[in-house]
Chain A
Amino acid sequence: MFKYKIYDLKIISNISLSDIEEYNFDSKEDIKIIANQYNNAKEIVKDSFIIKNDIFELVIKDIGIFNIVENNLNIYYFKETRNEEISLYILGTCIGYFLYKNNYLPLHGSSIYTDKGAVFFIGDSGYGKSTILNLFIKKNYKMISDDVIALKKINNEIIVFPSFPRSKIWKDTANKLDIEVDNLKQIYKRLDKFSYPIPKNLFFNSTTKPYIIYELLHYDIDKVIIEEVKNKFEIVKRLYKNTYRLTLMNNLKKNKLQFDIITKISNFIKFKKIYRPKNYNCIDELVILIEKDFLSD
């Protein structure tokens, strides 16, 4: 069996998770992954997702079936399915489900470490969260997480947990970062997303506190505007909206947890909106602006 620790969740698995380093522990696991090959791939004609009461079943055509019962994640993959494809789903929606179950609040966003604490980039898909993360990594900032930020309240404080040293990027981002796209593993065929490992020294493998949140927004303007949100109700609303997979949260009845963590974090967090033109391609400039903003704040 393989052992891992992701966002402080201890995992044992009969398959390896691609690019993730093993972590040894003796205590009881939080998640047990059992993956088996399934031969009736032809039976699955379309993707589906059922989450209801205690049932969690994610069916992805050409990849497999992900089924969660209590702490067990059972996977039925097909002969042609690649390990990194399975890993993508384990580390995405399935981990999201276990995060809620273990009282973490996941936000949809990326995060880097600074001396003052964690800087978050939240916003809708395709708005540049991962691109910005990768450009900061290039500037030697350490990554905390990509796509899912995990928060937990411990001793009345909000703590940010590190994910795993791996980043998802869009194809054009990879080009921009001078990484050979063809050498990367293409893991999410239909969405054209790519994943690549982050060097160990550029991964922040420890907990920290949230410091500042940037929400990325597209707008019909001709230059970048960074604007601080002072109204607490607005901050609460925007954090609510950027909570990861609200369906999972509602289903697991974690609304209280969400309310508790969001209102707690809104008390001290700096929250800024970044408006940028729709067809903006000076992303390097944007990164410089953001860096200047959080260094001077």
Chain B
Amino acid sequence: MISYNSIIHVNCNFISSEVDNELFLMSLENNAYYGLEDVGKRIFEIIQKPISFLEIVEILLNEYDIDKETCINDLREFLLNLEKENIIKISN
């Protein structure tokens, strides 16, 4: 579950490396590789410090030409994916 007040924490169990404009992550638990591009990469940068869902939405609305509803939906889906892969923790 994700609400506006949910706090996003990055899991420390992986390392990252930049290749061109992509960010690669490797999980130190199962050695799986992940790649993040453009917005995904920017979001990952934003969540380096624990931050609430709503705060991320605000930053993104400022930086990208996107409506609030799409931003919230896409961000929610993206963060839930990261949570599923154990890259972040979402606490309420």
Contacts and interface: CB of A to CB of B under 8 A. Distances in A.
Interface of A: 232-233, 236-237, 240, 250, 255-256, 259-260, 263-264, 266-267
B31 A236 contact: no
Given A233-B35, A240-B33, A256 B20 contact: no
B26 A259 contact: yes
- Chain B contact-residue range equals 10 to 19
Judged by DSSP, the binding face of B is strand
B24 interface: yes
Contact of A264 (B17, B28, B31): B17
Contacts, number: 36
A263 B17 contact: yes
A259 B33 contact: yes
A195 to B, nearest CB: 34
Given A233-B35, A236-B33, A240-B33, A259 B22 contact: no
5 A-B pairs closest in CB distance: A263-B17, A233-B35, A259-B26, A232-B19, A255-B31
Given A236-B24, A255-B26, A263 B19 contact: yes
B24 A259 contact: yes
20 contacts: A232-B19, A232-B20, A232-B35, A236-B19, A236-B24, A236-B33, A236-B35, A240-B33, A250-B31, A255-B26, A255-B31, A256-B28, A259-B15, A259-B24, A259-B33, A260-B15, A263-B18, A263-B19, A267-B18, A267-B20
Contacts of B15: 256, 259-260
A256 B33 CA distance: 11
Contacts of B17: 259-260, 263-264
A267 B31 contact: no
Nearest to B20: A232
Given A233-B35, A236-B35, A260-B17, 6 more contacts: A232-B22, A232-B35, A233-B24, A256-B26, A259-B24, A263-B24
A266 B35 CA distance: 13
Contacts of A259: 15, 17, 24, 26, 33
Interface of B: 15, 17-20, 22, 24, 26, 28, 31, 33, 35
A266 B17 CA distance: 11
A264 B22 CA distance: 12
B34 to A, nearest CB: 9
B59 to A, nearest CB: 26
B40 to A, nearest CB: 12
A232 B31 CA distance: 18
Contacts of B24: 233, 236, 259, 263
With most chain B CB atoms within 10 A of its CB, the pick from A233, A240, A264 is A233
A256 B31 CA distance: 9
Contacts of A267: 18-20
B41 to A, nearest CB: 12
Contacts of B28: 255-256
Nearest to B27: A255
Contacts of A237: 33
A287 to B, nearest CB: 30
Contacts of B33: 236-237, 240, 259
